[in-house]
Amino acid sequence: MLEIATLGLLQKESLHGYRLKQQLELFIGSCVSVNYGTIYPLLRRLEERGAIAVLTEASTDDLPASPGRSRN
């Protein structure tokens, strides 16, 4: 049930683990225990099977500095 709910939520929008846990608790928390020790291994398995893709955000160090500002 947790896997199907996770895939359903991720199909609608990209979510990081914290937000995914919040959404899962909202929708199925009364039926299934949702915790980080379950979420992150599940995401890893789904990625290994090719069911999901991990998206990473660009580091702010990779972005050019604004005029007049330095990135120290």
- Whether 43 is covered by a domain: the verdict is yes
**Is residue 20 assigned to a domain?**
yes
Which residues lie below 8 Å from residue 71, measured CB to CB, with a gap of 6+? Answer: 60, 61, 65
pLDDT for 58 beyond 80: no
On whether the CB atoms of residues 9 and 28 are closer than 8 A, the answer is no
Q: Is the pLDDT of residue 63 over 80?
A: no
Average pLDDT of the chain to the nearest whole number: 84
CA diameter of the chain: 54
Residue 22 falls within a domain, yes or no? yes
Number of domains in the chain: 1
Q: Which domain holds residue 33?
A: 2-55
In a domain, 61, yes or no: no
In a domain, 63, yes or no: no
Tell me whether residue 67 is in a domain. no
